[in-house]
């Protein structure tokens, strides 16, 4: 199971990836995540 984290989407790349910035990150680092991964997370019902 992957570690969850809060992040803010700052850009939508044409490749279909989302550029996100981790919340609370002092270095302002960003990372690209596959939008399908995000969609899978948001489609799951919360317990």
| pLDDT, tens digit (0-9, with 9 covering 90-100), for 31-41 | 888 877 666 66
Q: Closest Cα partner for 17 from 42, 41, 39?
A: 39
Give the chain's residues under pLDDT 70: 1-3, 37-47
Boundaries of every domain in the chain: 7-43
Q: Write out the two tokens for 9.
A: 């989407």
pTM: 0.47
Q: Write out the two tokens for 16.
A: 């279909």
Name the helix (H) or strand (E) containing 18.
strand 17-22
Q: Which residue has the tokens 């199971």?
A: 1
CB-CB contact of 6 with 23 (8 Å): yes
Phi, psi of 43 (to 5 degrees): -80, -20
């Amino acid at each position: 199971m992957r570690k969850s984290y809060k992040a803010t989407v700052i850009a939508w790349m044409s490749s279909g990836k989302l550029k996100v910035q981790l919340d609370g990150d002092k270095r302002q680092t960003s990372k690209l995540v596959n939008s399908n991964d995000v969609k899978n997370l948001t489609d799951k019902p919360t317990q």
